[in-house]
Structure 1
C-alpha cells in the first residue's frame, strides 16, 4: 500500500500533516510531532503585528472598526506578550531544521504587504522548506468592498511569491462571495496551494462586566464538512494543490478529505487533545479503509468524490440545499 503524497514540491511519506499550533513554539514540540508520526510540520505563525507595530501600512488596517474608542487598542497584544519575538522565531526554525527530518513549513499570519516580504526571505534563509500565508482579516469598514479586500490579499500573495524561491501556500477563511473565482486568481499569483479553511474565532459577551471577550474552542469533526465540500468543488478545476485543515479528528475525516481531492490533511485540535501519537491512530484508520476498499495508493483514491467525478455533481450545489430542507421532519 503506497501512502506517499506530494505537497508544495515536498515528498511526504503519507498525507497527515501537523498544522500550526502552540506545539511548535518549543523545539521539543517539533520532536514530539515527528515522533508521533506527522509527515510534515507547519510551524506556528509569525504574526504581522509582531513585525510591523510601528509601520503606518499596518496601522491603517489595525484601526478598521476601532471607531473612536481608545480602549479598543488593548485587544492587540503588546510586543512583550508574544511568546516569541521575530528573531527568536527564526532561531527556533533554524534549530528545528537541524533536529527533525520531516519538512517544516513556515507560517506568516497577517493581511498587508508590510514587512512580510522581508520576513518571508528570512524564513527561507532559516531553512523553511515551504511557506504558508495565513490571511486572517475581518473587514469591518462599510466603505471597504469585497473586491478591495480580495485585491489586498492578492497583492500580498503576489509580493511574497515573488520574493522567495520556496513554494507558497495560501490559507484563508471561507467568507467569499465567489470563492472559486478567487481561487483562480490566487493560482495566477504563482502560489502553489490553497489551505482550506482558517477558523473564524468569534468574540463573546461577558454579561457581568458588559465587555467583549475573546473565546477559543477546539474544532469538532462536523467542521470538516465545509472544507471537504470546497475541496471537492475545486479539485481538477484549479491548478492548485489543496490542503484540508479544520475538524479532522479521525481517519474518517482524513479519508473524506483525500477522496474530495486534498493532497494533505492537517490536524491541530485532535493532536492537542490526544497527543502527537494520534497521528499514528489516524494513519492506521486510513490504512484500514484503503485495505477494505481495495485502494493500493493515496493517489488512486484522491478526488474520486470530487465535483468532476461524482455521478450527481448537483449534490454540491443548490439541489442539496433543497433536498436537505425537504427531508427535515416537522415538530409533532
Structure 2
C-alpha cells in the first residue's frame, strides 16, 4: 500500500504529531546510521563521462524531475549527447534498459523516466552503476542522474540538491531537522549538504523570493532559485484536479495560482497506480460539476491508454532565475 506524505513532517515545532515523531525518532537514528555506513563503505564506479546528480535532501516532492529535464535540454542544446539515468521507481523492469516511450509503460519503467524519455534518451536501472556503464557504452557523453544523492555507487562530477523553497502556511521544507521516518530528511542536513556542490531552491510561481532564514541553512554553497512555471495555461472551464505526487497539495495551489477554475481536487500517494474504479470515481465527480479532469504530466504517464484522451495533462518546467549561474555549473561539470 502506498502512503501519503505526512504533512506534519513539514512543521518545525512538530505540534501536529509530537507523539508520532517521538516514537519514530529511534528508527530515524538507525536509518541515518545505515545510510552513512553505505556511503562511507561504497567505492563508486567511474562511467567515463561526466555525471550530474540531481538529488534531494528530503523525501517527498521538490521539483527534482523538472530540473533533470531542464539540464538535459541545456546539455543537448550544447550538442552534448546527454542521457538521463533513473532507478525507475515503481516500474517492474530491473534494467539496465533504455526507455522506449512507444513500447514501455509506466508500470514497466516508472512514470518519471517515461515522461522524460519524450525529450532525451533515458536509462533505468535499479543498479545505478550498471545503468551508468550501459549508457556510457551506448554513446552517452554526459549523464544526468534523477535522484541518487544518497546513492554512492556512481562517481558524481556535480551534485545538485533540490529543496522546496516554500515556507508559508506554517510549513518548513526541512521540518524540524528530523530524519525519516520522524521527519522528511533522508540524512542529517549537514551530512547531506557536505556532499552537495550547489542547492536549487524550487520556489512556487506566486512567491517573490526565498525566505532568508532558509537560505542561511546552506552556508558556503551556491544557491540557485528556480520556479515550476506552467508550459501552457491550465485547461479552460471548470476542472476537477488530482495528483499522486510527493506533495499533491502544491499541485492544487499551482493550478489555482495559474487561474484554473478548480472545483475540487483529489490528492493521492506518490506514484499512485490508478485503477478503473478510482478513475471512474474521478470522472463521476467531474460530471457533478460539469467539469473536465486535469492532472500532472507525471500522473498522466501512469494512466491507462483508454483514459488519456479524457484527462488533460498540465505540464510545468523548471525556470531558473539566474541562467548564467546555472550555465557556469554545467561548464564546471563538463570541464575536461
1 or 2 for the larger relative contact order (CA 8 Å, sep ≥6)? Answer: 2
After TM superposition, the score normalised by the length of structure 2 is: 0.33
After TM superposition, the score normalised by the length of structure 1 is: 0.34
Which structure's residues are more often helix, by fraction? 1
Which structure's residues are more often strand, by fraction? 2
